[in-house]
Structure 1
Amino acid sequence: MGAREVGLPARARTDGLPERVTIWEVGARDGLQNESAVVPVEVKLEFLDRLAAAGLGVLEATSFVHPKWVPQLADAEDLLARLTRAEGVSYPVLVPNERGLDRALAAGVRHIAVFGSATESFAKRNLNRTLDEQFAMFEPVVARARAEGLDVRAYVSMCFGDQWEGPVPPAQVAAVGRRLMEMGCSQLSLGDTIGVATPGLVESVIGAVNAAGVPTSRVAVHFHDTYGQALSNTLAALRLGVTTVDSSAGGLGGCPYAESATGNLATEDLVWMLDGLGVETGVDLDKLADTSAWMAERLGRPSPSRVVRALRG
């Protein structure tokens, strides 16, 4: 891939947006877990180093899901043992259960995330639990993690639609989110796992979550771009006061348990929009595009990100 000079978007600040947005970068975990081939740990480590050098302050590094289910991340302990942590950068990991928490604590992790479901169908397929049973699995994980001084984030999947159940009532999403936050989680990431959300639905779901007692300041959004709506949905969330957005460098990722899920919102596409809106992220788009082009070469295919293709095509 040939590099050429980055043309930054013209800035036009509009009212009603936050001054700064935190990008929660999930490429090294949510992106690479969906690769058909296992990416060497050396490549993952360089990927994380490059992302940190590009100015991203939160890098979800890996997952302690059992290697049987996600063999692409079977090297979690090795990766964390060899990782050079950049100053001021957080490296959270996904923890599915108490055994995963044991592994995270042994690795010296200080920030974890749990991954719940807003629907019965996805809870059964992803967690082998009912909607209610998932909470019994998460409670001891969150309690122990908090007792050890760890910060805990809660993901909720299928918040805007479920491929088996169809539309998901916003009140149901809010009820699940509230229970997770009441356990002691610090942030709630609302996931559009199959990418069916539209801006009006985003407003409805966040409104329901707020009505259930979870303030927007503790809400993050995680959009997939199946129908090309991820940026529109992100902008709707920002106008409601959301200041943390999940994205994946180069648009890597999907969901191994939801076949219709395409890639995550590309971090470059998000940064391009935010730069144009005058919203600060601290991210160097030039370095980020280089990083995603580099990773695309190692994966043997073009980057799904429109911005990466435009700047590094």
Structure 2
Amino acid sequence: MTDDDNVVTIAEMSPRDGLQNEKQPVDAETKITLVDRLSRCGLRYIEAGSFVSPKWVPQMADSEKVFAGIHRFSGTTYAALTPNLKGWEHAYQASADEVAVFASASESFSQRNLNCDVFTSLKRFASVVQAAKAANKKVRAYISCALDCPFEGPIAPETVGRLTAALLAMGCYQVSLGDTIGTGTPGRVRTLLRALQSVSKSHQLALHMHDTYGQAIANIYVGLEEGIRTLDASVGGLGGCPYAKGATGNVATEDVVYLLEREGLKHGIDLDMLIQTGDWISKQLGKPYNARAGKALQSRRNNLCVP
């Protein structure tokens, strides 16, 4: 194993994917504080907001204010989700370091999430990639429903492979594979990753695992075994999919960092500060703190305290 093989990057999703489905408004100051706290934890990739229609995602309507208010740490990428050229223009004006586009491996999910078929979504993304390249900005891509769709059921790895190849050929530097409804299992994740070896290299792929059925860490471990070194996660396990009833959200960043530490992989993140941040934002949202490793470490340390 080389030094590069021993380093894992976590793409922090909580300010965007973690907050976008909150029913109660989350003010910009709370979002700014969250991003700043995550930066201080040592996270070097933070998706700080998205530039989508406020009609569809009202929680992200203040992303310009968030990008204007955060303290930008040297060496940290502050990214934005952009569904189309208009979104790209707003992200560029907000000085996002890079942008991300999002496709679906399922036609049904694409229609519900993007209001268009997969082919049309790719045409829109091509315009974003072209504009970003002209501005020397990188573009990352997500594939939703890379394993299962809530409407169509299991998705064939070949379908994901064709979409991955198209996004990479378009100019996206990395494709994050999303287990959007959290139904994936380790064997199926391994099958998918091996099927993609013919169209991509391991550094061009990331995993975006939701933990609805408690499989996210096991799926991530398989990804690590298969050479994946970029993992999406959300502090406190915030987030989820509106089409997956009972979904528990993204895999918790704390749980991923704990796994990496115990497996001897480098990540550059202060786990104690991360736990404090996850606990803090959960309280701001009026939610229980759901990071399993975070709660366990909090409990252990509290029990060791001497009054």
User: What SS does the aligned partner of 2:118 have?
Assistant: coil
Residues 34, 277 of structure 2: 8 Å contact kept: yes
1:128-155 CA deviation, whole Å, 9 max, x = no partner? Answer: 1112221111111111111111100010
Pairing partner for 1:253 from 239, 245, 270: 239
Structure 2 SS opposite 1:85: coil
- Kept in 1, the 8 Å contact 2:237–2:248? The answer is no
Asked if structure 1 preserves the Cα contact closer than 8 Å seen for 2:150 and 2:243, the reply is no
Give the whole-Å Cα distance in 2 for the aligned partners of 1:279 and 1:198: 22
What letter corresponds to residue 47 of structure 2 in structure 1? Answer: E
CA gap of 1:113–1:207, structure 2 versus 1, over 3 A, is same
Find the partner of 1:297 among 283, 296, 299: 283
Amino acid at match of 1:232: A
Shift of 1:311: 2.8
Closer/same/farther in 2, CA of residues 126 and 258 from structure 1, 3 Å limit? farther
TM-score normalized by the length of structure 1 = 0.92
**Partner of 2:223 in structure 1?**
237
How far, CA to CA, are the matches of 2:129 and 2:30 in structure 1?
31
1:144-173 deviation digits (Å, cap 9, x = unpaired): 111111100010000011111111000000
Match of 1:195 among 179, 182, 193: 182
1:110–1:149 contact (8 Å) kept in structure 2:
no
Partner in structure 1 of residue 210 of structure 2: 224
CA contact (8 A) 1:194 1:262 kept: no
Question: Mean Cα displacement is larger for which, 202-211 or 95-104?
Answer: 202-211
In the alignment, is residue 310 of structure 1 matched against residue 296 of structure 2? Answer: yes
Question: Which one scores higher on RCO, CA 8 angstroms, separation ≥ 6?
Answer: 1
Give me the TM-score of the superposition, normalised by structure 2: 0.94
Distance 2:245 2:61 in 1: 22
The number of equivalent residue pairs is 298
The C-alpha deviation readout for 1:84-135, integer Å capped at 9, x for no partner, is 1011111010001011011011112220000110111111000111122211
How big is each residue's C-alpha offset from its partner over 1:243-295, in whole Å with a ceiling of 9 and x where there is no partner? Answer: 00000000000123544543100000011111101111101110000011111
Aligned to 1:265: 251
Query: Counterpart of 2:267?
Result: 281
Note if contact 1:125-1:257 (Cα within 8 Å) is conserved in structure 2.
no
Deviation >6 Å, runs of 4+:
none
Residue 92 of structure 2 corresponds to residue 105 of structure 1: yes
Residue 238 of structure 1 aligns to a residue whose secondary structure is: helix
Identical pairs, percent: 45
SS in structure 2 at match of 1:101: helix
Judge conservation of contact 2:33–2:70 (CA < 8 Å) in 1.
no
Q: One-letter code of the match for 1:182?
A: A
- CA shift, 1:214, in A, is 1.1
Q: Check if 1:205 corresponds to 2:192.
A: yes
Structure 1 SS opposite 2:154: coil
1:38 aligns with 2:39: no
Runs of 5+ unmatched residues, structure 1: 1-13
**CA contact 2:178–2:207 (8 Å) conserved in 1:** yes
- Of 42, 50, 55, which aligns to 1:68? 55
1:301 positional shift? 1.9
CA distance in 1, matches of 2:166, 2:244: 24
Question: Which letter does structure 1 place at the counterpart of 2:259?
Answer: M
Q: Give distance in 2, aligned partners of 1:222 and 1:125.
A: 20
2:75 corresponds, among 88, 103, 123, to 88
